[in-house]
Structure 1
Amino acid sequence: MSDKLKVLAGLLVLAVLITLPFWLNAGKSGAAPEIVIAEAAKKAGNCVESKEWMAANHMALLDQWRDVVVREGKHIYVSESGQEFNMSLSSGENSCLGCHTSTAEFCDSCHDYTGVGTLYCWECHIDPSKENK
């Protein structure tokens, strides 16, 4: 057997070993978390933007809100539908946590499921669902 065949066989074994976890876990993803929405949200009927848009863009929206509130002092966001929302995570009924009342059941469950990483919102903001515990 020539050295070329040994190298190719070694590369093939390496490729199989590296991709083995992907092959063994193919199609075995866990169930997506169930989103818990408060009664206030059900009465309001809609979020700041569509569910699909929020799932894809909520972090960009929150970053934009942070910059606008802190740097420009504006506190009202007007959605595509023309509805006004308070640009706040936790202040009032018309804020994020006014409808999504539990960070553990809403924020943390999705971020854990997707493996996005650590939420840094609560380094500055008070989490109302944990405030009195």
Structure 2
Amino acid sequence: MYNAKAVVAGIIIFVVLCTSPFWAAMTGQDYKKTGIVPPGDEKNCVENVTFMRAQHMRLLNEWRDEALRRENRTYITADGKKWTISLQNTCLKCHSNYKDFCQKCHVANSVDPYCWTCHIIPGENK
């Protein structure tokens, strides 16, 4: 082979470039280390912290379907507590600082939720 060194170097570069997303994901930021400070006023969220970190978007989608399509505005947790299904009046009552709560985690995880196409982005706490 005339260009064996160039071919081998090209293959190595190709493999590194193709596998770089996997390496980046393994060393990437963890959503638990975003510096988010949970609200201190309320002792409990709608569900436990582990569930909310992993499934809050699914829960919000279910809430949207229940409230707007089935006209059910009450969410009952596994322990029997009732919550009003409302992003503005339930979730944002505690998580009112969009910049320091929602946005920090969404930016760290490279997600762009569509909540704010209908809802008003909450302002900072004064």
TM-score, L = length of structure 1: 0.73
54 and 19 in structure 1: CA distance in 2 versus 1, 3 angstrom threshold = same
Q: For 1:10-29, list aligned pairs within 5 A.
A: 10-19=10-19, 27=27, 29=29
Equivalent in the alignment of 2:109 = 114
Rounded to whole Å, the distance in 2 between the matches of 1:110 and 1:14 is 33
Question: Deviation of residue 111 (structure 1)?
Answer: 0.4
Q: Return the structure number with greater relative CO, CA threshold 8 A, min gap 6.
A: 2
Hey, what does 1:78 align to over in structure 2?
76
- The CA distance in 1 between the partners of 2:114 and 2:34, in whole Å, is 21
Q: Taking structure 2 as the reference length, what is the TM-score of the superposition?
A: 0.77
Between the two proteins, the alignment pairs up a number of residues equal to: 122
SS at match of 2:92: helix
Q: Which runs of 5+ in 1 are unaligned?
A: none
Any idea what the Cα deviations from partners look like across 1:79-102, whole Å, max 9, x if unmatched? 1121111111112xxx00111111
Partner of 2:34: 33
Which residue type is aligned with residue 47 of structure 2?
Answer: E
Match for 1:32: what amino acid?
Answer: K
**Root-mean-square deviation over aligned CA pairs:** 3.1
State the percentage of identical aligned residues.
37
2:120 matched residue in structure 1: 126
| Partner-residue secondary structure (3-state), 1:40 | coil
1:59 to 42, 57, 60: 57
- Whether the 8 Å contact between 2:29 and 2:109 is mirrored in structure 1 is no
Q: Provide Cα deviations, 1:24-81, integer angstroms capped at 9, x if missing partner.
A: 997474882222333432xxx1111110111111101000000110011111101112
